[in-house]
Amino acid sequence: TYTLRRASSANQLRPAEQAQRQAVVPADRKRAREEGSKDDGILSGWDEPVKKQPKQKQHPEVIRCSHILLKHRDMKKPFDRNGQVVVRSKEEAFRLLRAHKDEIILNLDGLGPEAKLRKIAKKESDCPSWKKGGDLGVIKKGQIAKDFEAVAF
């Protein structure tokens, strides 16, 4: 970005310089706005642009994760957390999960997303983590299923 230096007062310029400066200032201000700099007075010149290093996207190696697991009848072990056989279809499980996701995002009861997820997980999740509100704790890359890892990281 460009940084602007400002003269302390317009009266410090001689009339000829002032007229010349007024002709140059609008273009400089336009360029400054385009470059994202702020100017609130008379410009006395441009400093050299400072090159910023591009931000590198960093992916964490370790995260804290919570989830809601809803089993369906086509799973290898179609039993809920109480040992009962699950009768819902895969489509019904996805529909319920989308409804829970919307409920968490909309936050109509004002609990906040984390508290809402914990509440739903304790009530609905078929994962043993339901006792901890769906909290899986701290997980590392490579520690969980690849499809889950792709979403989590």
46 C-beta neighbours (distance < 10 Å), count: 15
Predicted TM-score (pTM) above 0.85: no
Task: State residue 109's pLDDT score.
Answer: 87
Could you give the 3-state DSSP secondary structure of residue 146? Answer: helix
* CA separation for the pair 105, 48 (Å, rounded): 45
pLDDT digit string, tens, across residues 11-38: 454 555 555 555 444 555 556 666 655 5
Yes or no: say if 80 and 125 are a contact pair by the CB < 8 Å rule: no
pLDDT digit string, tens, across residues 55-99: 766 767 889 999 999 999 999 999 999 999 999 999 999 999 999
β-strand partners of 138: 64
